[in-house]
Structure formats: C-alpha cells, structure tokens
Structure 1
Amino acid sequence: MADTKMLFCFFAIIICCCSVAMAQIPVDCCLSVMNQTLDKKLVADYYPQAKGCTLDATILVTRKGRKLCAPHDELWVQDVKKHVDHLKKLCKKQGYKGRRCFGVKHQ
C-alpha cells in the first residue's frame, strides 16, 4: 500500500514538472508581414503562425531555409501555398530528386 502511494506521488511530481516546463516554451511570432510579393519558385514550405500571436500570418520557408512572414489573407500568398502543395506532391512522386525538389521537406 505504501509503495502505491509513493508511486502515485512520484508520477504526480513528474506531471507537475512537465506541465511547468511546457508552459515556459516561448512562441515565435511575426512582428510584421512582408509588403511585397515573393516569387513562388523560391518557397519550399509554409505553415500558419502559432495561435497565440497577434498577427494572422503564414510563415513561408525558402529553399535555403529562411523564414518569412506573409499576410495570410493575401491572394499571392494563397497562390504560393497552392504551388508548394503541388511541388510537394510532384517531388514525392519523383523521390525528392532533381533541382526542382531542392529544399522541399519529405512528407
């Protein structure tokens, strides 16, 4: 019986420590977005900005790994996202080989 109580206390402490550690992870937010368009051929990936940020932005990742903040609702950003989705499908079929697939992450 004492072993069960000790084990329960041990797990409770571990859970508390993990939740405190997770709460202190900083969120990387865009402070501003680009005012100019970007050539879609330069972009290899994208993802939405975290929920806790003030700006509604899409993070565009270039083939060289540079991250750029773009306005989520702009038409050119939607066009870039469609291009990247098409590129990912194409590169997956080709085994991520070739110059066109440089910088594209494996799915």
Structure 2
Amino acid sequence: MMFSNRLLLWTGALLILSVSLWSCTTAQNDGAADCCLTTSDRRIPKKVVTSFIVQTGDGACRIPATIFVTKKGLKLCAPFPSESNWVSKLIDYILAGPVSKPRGKKHRQQ
C-alpha cells in the first residue's frame, strides 16, 4: 500500500510539472507579434533611421510594411518598398552604410 501511494504522488508531481512546462512554452510561442497594423506615407528623415525590417504580411502580421528603426529605438511603419519610391530609396541608403568623410588638414594646391 505504501508503494502505490508513492507511485501516485510521483505520477501526480510529474503530471503537474509536465503541464506547467508545456503551458510555458505555449505561452512563449503564442506571444503577441510586434507588427505594423497600419502604415504612414509620411517621409522619414535619413538622419534618424538606423535599420529596417520588411514585414511581408504572412503569418501573424497581416499587412505588408517596412518597419524603420530610429536612433532612439522607435519603430515607424511605412509602406512596403514596392509600393513607395521613397521607402526603396531609404532602404538603399541604409544598405549603402555610412559615407566616410576624409579627415585631416586640407593641403593647398600650388
């Protein structure tokens, strides 16, 4: 009789542990996605943008969009690149990287 009580206790503990681990992994996978719900065609200055993410409209994010990330960490939703010329140009600018300016003293030509 003592053996069956221990077995029942261990089985119950294992069941509770399994259910709690399963619910934790399910909660992490079903978390809210960080999506653009609408877009704005208002142009974003080049100097404030550091990176971008293209939202295709598949999966949890329902609309195609471009998410620009600013220096302050803000995420701004713009139209999909194929829908707006200025978005494509801003993406090209970001992908080109920073333009380095020559440093040093200017030499006079003689």
Q: TM-score, normalised by structure 2?
A: 0.58
| RMSD between aligned residues | 2.9
Q: Which residue of 2 aligns with 1:31?
A: 37
Give the unaligned 5+ runs of structure 1.
1-5, 94-107
Give the unaligned 5+ runs of structure 2.
1-10, 101-110
1:3-22 deviation digits (Å, cap 9, x = unpaired): xxx9xx79x76873454122
How far residue 38 of structure 1 moved from its aligned partner, in angstroms, is 1.7
Q: 2:86 aligns with which of 59, 68, 76?
A: 76
Q: Which residue of 1 aligns with 2:72?
A: 64
SS in 2 for 1:79: helix
Q: TM-score, normalised by structure 1?
A: 0.59
1:53-84 deviation digits (Å, cap 9, x = unpaired): 12100100112221100001211111111111
Structure 2 CA distance for aligned equivalents of residues 35 and 78 of structure 1 = 12
Between 28-37 and 56-65, report the one with greater CA deviation. 28-37
| Matched residues, number | 83
Matched AA of 1:52:
A
Q: Which residue of 2 aligns with 1:86?
A: 96
- 1:21 aligned to 2:31? no
Q: Which residue of 1 aligns with 2:4?
A: none
Report which of the two structures shows the higher radius of gyration computed on alpha carbons: 2
